[in-house]
Amino acid sequence: MSQTPRQFISTLGGYRAVAKRLRVSATTMHGYMVAGLLPPKWYSALLALAAERAVEPPSRDLFSFEALPPPEQKQDVA
């Protein structure tokens, strides 16, 4: 089942509780939650918090990880 950041944060106790645990402001947590993508720097912390609270770990899709750009193509030199 695919979760949204809002649903995942709710399973952890809500944005205020999660913000307090991560030592960020509730406003910051709420902003990312509403935007629909969490910052990648929180991935490990939220993974640990999920284990601590005995809930399913977060999907990587909930975070704004950078994708690997396509490889550069060689130009034929005449």
Domain that holds residue 45: 5-62
Whether 9 contacts 33, CB under 8 Å: yes
Output the tens digit of pLDDT for each of the chain's 78 residues: 479 999 999 999 999 999 999 999 999 999 999 999 999 999 999 999 999 999 999 999 999 999 899 988 777 666
* DSSP line for the chain: ----HHHHHHHTT-HHHHHHHHTS-HHHHHHHHHHT-B-GGGHHHHHHHHHHTT-PPPPGGGB-PPPPPPPPPPPPP-
Residue 56, in any domain of the structure: yes
Residue 67, in any domain of the structure: no
What is the token pair recorded at 58?
């977060």
Counted domains in the chain? 1
Main-chain phi, psi angles of 5, to 5 degrees: -55, -40
* pTM attached to this predicted model: 0.82
Residue 72, in any domain of the structure: no
